[in-house]
Structure 1
Amino acid sequence: MSCLEIMPKLGLTMTEGMLAKWHKSEGEKIEKGEILFEVETDKLTNEIEAKESGVVRKILVEEGETVKCLAPVAVIAGENEDISGLLKEAGVNGQEVAETKTEEKKSDNTAVEAGPKKVVVIGGGPGGYIAAIRAAQLGNKVTLIEKEELGGTCLNVGCIPTKTLLHSAELFSEIKDSRNLGIDVGEVSINWKNVQRRRKRVIKKLVSGVKGLLSYNKVNVINGFARMETENSLTVSKEGGKSEKIDFDSAIISTGSVPFAPLIPGIGLEGVIDSTGALELESLPETIVIIGGGVIGIEFASLFSSLGKKVTILEMLPFILPPIDRQISSMIADKLSKQGVSINTGCRVTSIEKGENGLKVDFTKGNDNLNVEAEKVLVAIGRRSNTEGLELEKIGVKTEKGRVCVDDYMRTNAGSIYAIGDCTGKIMLAHVASEQGVVAAENISGKNVKMDYKTVPSCVYTKPEIASTGLTEEQVKEKGIDYKVGIFPMGANGKAMISKEPDGIIKIIADKKTEEILGVHIMAPRATDLIGEAALALRLEATVDEVVTTIHAHPTINEAFKEAALAVQKRALNSVN
């Protein structure tokens, strides 16, 4: 029996879907109930089954195209059956779809002509390799250029190795304290060389995984340094002085960032290191000064202090972790202080020089001139965009202080050039770079997709962990929003007590009138995992009541999220309101 297969309506709010993949080609037989194609929306991906058995006589929509719900996408019929009537019917609807897509492309000039393209991605970090894979999925011929290791800063000298070392440090401190859990163990020591070996093994395995994914998606990987020549060509400098010219239809710049080195006298002395140097230490220093109380500095402070080392933090601002809700940052500062970390805020480093016990750091705090000595000095005051040598100015790509200027579609002012990740100077997080990579790849392929930064989660891997999404209390005050707050202490959560991590809170900020959740801030065990529910709540514009009426499992850390929502309404059940 012949039939028209249509774009299904998979939800009340769905109006269109992207045909992500065909499981059958024209001329192939298919049985009723077999998977025919995949549909992708902004919320989910679904496999769609054939309504009838027969032969796929005509495919009306190509992979990567977006069409309205209920529009025809294919004709299934007998091998010799007349399908002219169905094609006529499909042609009318297909014309309507084509007109809709044309209007969409005209609006705001955000979409470009669809069809396979030659796409070059410069940089193989979490933004670049994801962009390359997505561009390849959409049928483009993709080349990825990376001058060092695939995976970029995040995988090789950032997120992954840092968290690997932090995990070892966390286990070390737990084993040392195991008597309080009823477990007697002998003397415990840290084998730093083996910890470093494990770090390298984790990195090697993940880099291998990235290589495999790129190969599977038929992405051509070139090792070398790219320099722009025109808006549609570049030159790759390779080892041995060789070079290769590559032409492209579109390029995605994803060159990441590098540690920022301030102009402090003595910054070049031996023993002064950046975050990369800290990860590669051959032995643990007994004392270390960390310049900078941001995420990088605080994570390293947590690492070294957990291993029993003396840590001093010097931060210019009057508080640590400036992007984090102030109540949370104050709580983690107290926690670190109790662990023996010396935190100095509101101070300015004036010089670094050789001292009797290694290095001496001079700094001012108020009207006082102070100093501290340590074996190592870690400079962790942030990162800057890495665009040197790309010669973007040659092709007229607009930059500001080294940052590539882009719009919400990840386009630069040069029509064929896109940029993503840290090199844009927007939000320097790996998961943001990955999402920007998807947006750029899809827009190159003819879609009309904007970046939405509303639900970006931020994570700090201290003990306990910190995670945040949405507006902080300081931000809602600045915006003049009438709001209310619900706070649930982790000391009242059974799973936190079992895990011996009762310090912390879950804090929900909601609109006072509508009770829409505006921000969630967590200091708790596994906060970086828990923040996913909070980000989804913001994405769906959920209200406090929608969280409250969702049953949460017990005993879990997660149930504290519901209790915090109840606290917004002054009716928490497991703590005093």
Structure 2
Amino acid sequence: MKHFDLAVIGAGAGGYVAAIHAAKSGLKVALVEKGKVGGACFNLGCIPSKIMIEHSKLVQKLQLVKEWGIHTSNLEIDFEKLSKRKDDIIHKLLENIHFYINNASIRYYTGEAKVSKEKIVTVNDEKLAANNIILATGSKPFVPPFKGLETSSYHTTDTIFNITELPKQLTIIGGGVIAVELAFSLAPLGTNVTILNHSSDILQTEEPDARPIVRNKLMDLGVELVLDFEFKEIQQNEVITSRGNYPFENLLFATGRRPNTEIANNLNLEMDGKFIKVNEHFETSIPNIYAIGDIVGGYQLAHAASAEGIQAVEAILGNNPAPINQTVIPRCVYSTPEIATFGLLEYEVNPNDCIITKLPLSSNAKALMEGNKDGFIKFIASKKNDEILGACVVGDGATEILNSMLATKVAGGKATDLTKIIFPHPTKSEQIGDAAKAVYWRAINA
């Protein structure tokens, strides 16, 4: 039986990062994955969806420049070639991960793992003994048990990225981040998209002021938004709702994900609802067995899982790391325009204790040059001590623009520190400096 300091079960964004960090910290590591390295993020989620969104952004840009006076010949979409490009990029990224794993001298196993309370991992009839185990088994799509569902074929977020032909029509059930991003991926290419979301709005976990901007953009792209209704049943190729009947050619469920807790259940780990209960170092109810990522709740984001993996490894190394500060984990929506936030949102703070500033991008020179005037930068600071409590950027490139504010907060900086940065002009980032100055009523462009 081989012996390891650490066995990591699952080679997704959390698992492989934890394994490499542990190996480079001097631990002997085994990494077990039953599917493809990279997990859902690289193979079934954030990476393929963002590649498709990049394709669609170019199409939207071509439509925009026609208004400026730049005319092109008839636009043709070779979706098969676009799909191949997506697959090629993913293949390269997975090759890179395998290289990093090998370079760190990690023993990699392909197969389904079974774990005992004695920390014995069995893979393909081979037994591995580990002093510590990290469970990073991820999640799977959740499909609600709709009446009549068995009468129709449908996609989940695990299958939609396998398509090689551009669908003429797609009905998406769900109104969260994944549903919206997939609508932006396909509608600009020519797919007639319908979003059916029983709630009163889309993106209900995101900044409220961003939602109408994204809604309007979806409708500009021809997406049919159907909100605030009750589902009744599915009849072959038709969704029956309290608002009416909606026929479909292709159906996608983007209705969230559920944690893969089979190993946790077999170990009889203590649970917190449907998630594994862990402490601040992600240790479970069994000492020296840890859990990270989608199986422990919190932000179900690849970068959050990676941070949790490193946190668990640091605890295993005996470094007693400080708990992860949830307010510095960025949340991103790759819509058009993008939404990027960290910390608290406006409705989560007491307005008597905070100063909230909001500057539109329509006054920003670079945004106007690029034709991206829809959006804003919102900044929340404490009246008491200038602490940066939260921020939101809505606009093209928001997921990059946010980082200077986030870096300032992580470094212990205050709102006053952002006012001291000399941002280059013209850039969209310079709006950050003005938003910070607005805290002290000294903004130039407000």
For Structure 1 versus Structure 2, the TM-score category normalised by the shorter chain is: over 0.9
Q: Which amino acid is 2:46 matched to?
A: C
Contact 1:508–1:565 (8 Å) recurs in 2 = yes
- Please point out which of 315, 321, 327 is paired with 1:443: 315
C-alpha deviation, 1:401, in angstroms: 4.3
Deviation track 1:355-389 (CA, whole Å, cap 9, x = no partner) reads xxxx211122xxxx41212211211111110122x
The 1:342/1:541 distance shift into structure 2, 3 A limit, reads farther
- Please point out which of 206, 210, 233 is paired with 2:120: 233
- Please point out which of 136, 147, 151 is paired with 1:265: 147
Contact 1:517–1:541 (8 Å) recurs in 2 = no
| Residue 256 of structure 2 is aligned to residue 382 of structure 1 | yes
Match of 1:455 in 2: 328
The 1:394/1:288 distance shift into structure 2, 3 A limit, reads closer
Contact 1:273–1:378 (8 Å) recurs in 2 = yes
| Residue 78 of structure 2 is aligned to residue 204 of structure 1 | no
Distance in 1 separating the partners of 2:266 and 2:255: 31
Match of 1:370 in 2: 244
Distance in 1 separating the partners of 2:384 and 2:317: 42
Match of 2:42 in 1: 155
Give SS of 2:86's match. helix
Q: Which amino acid is 2:443 matched to?
A: A
Match of 2:287 in 1: 415
Which structure is richer in relative contact order (CA contacts within 8 A, separation 6 or more)?
Answer: 2
- Please point out which of 224, 228, 239 is paired with 1:361: 239
Distance in 2 separating the partners of 1:186 and 1:419: 54
C-alpha deviation, 1:181, in angstroms: 4.0
Distance in 2 separating the partners of 1:258 and 1:353: 25
Q: If each structure's helix is expressed as a fraction of its own residues, which one has the higher value?
A: 2
Match of 2:218 in 1: 336
Runs of 4+ that moved beyond 4 A: none
Q: Which moved more, 1:142-151 or 1:554-563?
A: 554-563
Contact 1:469–1:534 (8 Å) recurs in 2 = no
The 1:347/1:567 distance shift into structure 2, 3 A limit, reads farther
Distance in 2 separating the partners of 1:319 and 1:190: 31
Give SS of 1:235's match. strand
Match of 1:76 in 2: none
| Residue 118 of structure 2 is aligned to residue 247 of structure 1 | no
The 1:214/1:267 distance shift into structure 2, 3 A limit, reads same
| Residue 422 of structure 2 is aligned to residue 534 of structure 1 | no
Match of 1:475 in 2: 348
C-alpha deviation, 1:331, in angstroms: 2.2
Distance in 2 separating the partners of 1:395 and 1:373: 45
| Unpaired stretches in structure 1, ≥5 consecutive residues | 1-115, 238-242
The 1:424/1:362 distance shift into structure 2, 3 A limit, reads same
Contact 2:405–2:418 (8 Å) recurs in 1 = no
C-alpha deviation, 1:541, in angstroms: 4.2
C-alpha deviation, 1:125, in angstroms: 0.4
Contact 1:398–1:404 (8 Å) recurs in 2 = yes
- Tell me the TM-score normalised to structure 1 length: 0.74
C-alpha deviation, 1:280, in angstroms: 1.5
Aligned-pair identity (%): 33
Q: Which moved more, 1:480-489 or 1:502-511?
A: 480-489
Q: Which has more radius of gyration? A: 1
Contact 2:172–2:194 (8 Å) recurs in 1 = yes
C-alpha deviation, 1:141, in angstroms: 0.6
Deviation track 1:437-460 (CA, whole Å, cap 9, x = no partner) reads 101111111110122212010001
Match of 2:432 in 1: 561
Give SS of 1:276's match. coil
Q: Which moved more, 1:418-427 or 1:325-334?
A: 325-334
Q: Which amino acid is 1:457 matched to?
A: P
- Please point out which of 399, 409, 415 is paired with 2:271: 399
Match of 1:51 in 2: none
Match of 1:487 in 2: 358
Aligned pairs, number: 443
C-alpha deviation, 1:486, in angstroms: 0.9
C-alpha deviation, 1:212, in angstroms: 0.2
Within 5 A, what are the aligned runs for 1:8-407?
Answer: 118-237=5-124, 243-354=125-236, 359-364=237-242, 369-388=243-262, 390=263, 392-407=264-279
Deviation track 1:269-295 (CA, whole Å, cap 9, x = no partner) reads 444211122211232222222111110
Contact 1:384–1:425 (8 Å) recurs in 2 = no
C-alpha deviation, 1:570, in angstroms: 3.1
